[in-house]
Amino acid sequence: MKEPNLLIVEDEKAILHMLMTILTRENFRSIDTAGSAEEALVLCKEKSYDLVLLDITLPGRSGLEICPLIREISDASIFFLTARSTDLDKLSGFAVGADDYITKPFNPLEVAARIKAHLRRRLGIAPRIAANLFEYGPLTVNTSAGEVKLQDKPVELPAQVYQLLLFFCRHPNQLFSKSQLYEKVWNEEFLGEDNTVMVHIRKLREKIEINPSSPKFIVTVRGLGYKFIPEGGNHEST
């Protein structure tokens, strides 16, 4: 999954620091902050965000006022963070375009969990939702059952091709040369002229790619090796 871009719009420094600490700890790397409505609007015009955490009570215009304005210039999801907790307040928040409404005081770990769950749905994938289950768009790999499905249809894989797929699932977005793949998946020294990896890559593509001649999951990085792209469908091979 691509690195999501987050924007936190919050003028209370203690709350902002707490959110930044938790979200960074939860492996969110691209986070911008704004302390006012006007600053938030400027940032939304300059950059594409996946999700905006928006306080309602801000200097100048309120979050309720700028939520529709953000909607006009951005397709980001919007979560309200606010001390206003009545049913009417919540209805007002959803009425102006909020995707979620979180009341203060809140558990920052819960906020992080709700963001992750929402982004998984928004981006259409769940890279790894359990120790034994990988879900990448149309591709599902259940290691407990030894099952692979593409678009909910069972896929039969030879044993070594299955092991190659598992290795890729466990190392998404990482580039591996032919020699590295051979040594890590086959547990043998690569001799240089062996085409085993290329043959198995081709077999795997034939099984899990919707269009094997234009692979989206397993892409070739010319001259360097292969990379497994979990988003399968959002990237072109090179």
Whether the CB-CB separation of 5 and 29 falls below 8 Å is answered with no
Q: Measure the CA angle with vertex 124, ends 137 and 207; round to 5°.
A: 10
How far apart are alpha carbons 34 and 32 in whole angstroms?
A: 7
Q: Which two tokens stand for residue 87?
A: 């049913």
Specify which residues 77 forms β-bridges with. 51
Indicate the domain borders of the chain.
6-123, 133-228
Return the CA Rg of the chain: 22
Predicted local distance difference test score (pLDDT) of residue 97: 86
pLDDT in tens, the chain (238 residues): 467 899 999 999 999 999 998 888 888 888 999 999 999 999 999 998 999 999 998 988 999 999 999 988 888 899 998 888 788 888 888 888 888 898 888 888 888 888 888 887 766 544 443 457 788 878 888 887 889 998 889 999 998 999 999 889 888 888 888 889 998 888 888 777 678 999 999 999 999 998 898 898 999 988 888 999 886 644 333 3
Q: Return phi, psi of residue 154, to 5°.
A: -60, 140
Predicted local distance difference test score (pLDDT) of residue 124: 55
Which is nearest to 84 in space by CA: 57, 53, 111, 110?
57
User: Domain 133-228 class?
Assistant: mainly alpha
User: Domain 6-123 class?
Assistant: alpha beta
Predicted local distance difference test score (pLDDT) of residue 193: 67
Strands (E), 123-236: 126-130, 133-136, 139-142, 147-150, 153-154, 175-176, 218-221, 225-228
Predicted local distance difference test score (pLDDT) of residue 144: 75
